[in-house]
Amino acid sequence: MKASPSARSWIAAGVRHELLTRALPALRHDMAAPVSVIRMALLMLKRQVVAPAIDPKACEERVALIDNQVTELVEAIRSLRDWELATTDDGISRSALVAQCVMLMRAAFDLHGVSLETDDALEPQEGEHRWPAAAALRYLFLGSLGYLHDGVEDAGAIRVEADGANALRLTAVPREPGATHAVFDAHRAPRALAIDAVALQNLAEDLGYAVTLEGDSVRLVLATGN
């Protein structure tokens, strides 16, 4: 029985939720790190205040550090809005999209024995074209990573390359013969919510983008309606 448009939208929403869940550890780290620094700075500031002789310069340095970390914490919290599809954004460049998503998932993939490799052509460049709907593209890129991570059993790396002027190609690279699997490799794909071809295509269609699955690679077009 073919799923109704409403059901397909719910499926796509479920895929986005799963992808956000996978990215949350990195997002939590970005928010927890400033808190740890703030706590340490406050402890040092308290010691300075109760010392027999207060060092104004040292206190000023601690306050400046706390102020800086509060700013970083606020920015990290505000970044959660970047995951809302209804939020209007100013778009994102291809290199920034790749850099953000690779940074979010690198640690988790490394634990599973899958490294993330980015082609030199995707280094930031001045005057890069910005593609609209950064939130949608972020979900699609993470979905493509998840599809290769969950579905290619012998993947030792996923390579990200530019494909023409408006697309990205992600390719799963097999492990070297004799390479040992990571300790947590058993937890790579037995997840009940593995990203498969149906999930990825459903997500792309719901967001209005095109992804092409070619063996152990995914081609993601950054413009809608292609």
69-122 residue pLDDT tens? 899 888 888 888 888 887 778 899 999 999 999 999 999 999 888 999 999 999
In this structure, of 35-39, 83-87, 139-143, 153-157, the range with the lowest mean pLDDT score is: 83-87
Classify 212 as helix, strand or coil: strand
Per-residue confidence band for 60, with pLDDT thresholds at 50, 70 and 90: confident
- Mean pLDDT score, 196-206: 95
- Mean pLDDT score, 111-136: 93
Q: For residues 4 and 195, which has the higher predicted lDDT (pLDDT)?
A: 195
Per the CB < 8 A criterion, the answer to whether 92 and 140 are in contact is: no
Q: For residues 43 and 170, which has the higher predicted lDDT (pLDDT)?
A: 170
- Mean pLDDT score, 198-204: 95
- Mean pLDDT score, 124-136: 93
Residues 6 or more apart whose Cβ sits within 8 Å of residue 27: 76, 79, 80, 104
Paired tokens of 72: 């970083």
The whole-chain average pLDDT of the chain stands at 87
Smallest Cα–Cα separation from 11: which of 148, 205, 191?
205
Per-residue confidence band for 55, with pLDDT thresholds at 50, 70 and 90: confident
Smallest Cα–Cα separation from 169: which of 108, 117, 91?
117
Per-residue confidence band for 189, with pLDDT thresholds at 50, 70 and 90: very low
Question: From CA 141, how far away is CA 68, in angstroms rounded?
Answer: 31
Smallest Cα–Cα separation from 200: which of 218, 222, 173, 225?
218
pLDDT of residue 129: 94
pLDDT of residue 178: 63
202-222, pLDDT tens digit by residue? 999 999 999 999 989 999 999
Hey, what long-range contacts does 102-109 have (CB within 8 A, 24 or more apart)? Answer: 102/160, 103/26, 104/23, 104/26, 104/27, 104/142, 105/22, 105/23, 105/26, 105/142, 105/145, 107/25, 107/26, 108/22, 108/25, 108/26, 109/145, 109/149, 109/158
Q: Which residue has the tokens 């703030």?
A: 38
Q: For residues 63 and 143, which has the higher predicted lDDT (pLDDT)?
A: 143
- Mean pLDDT score, 127-137: 94
- Mean pLDDT score, 53-65: 86
Residue 147 has pLDDT above 60, yes or no: yes
pLDDT of residue 207: 94
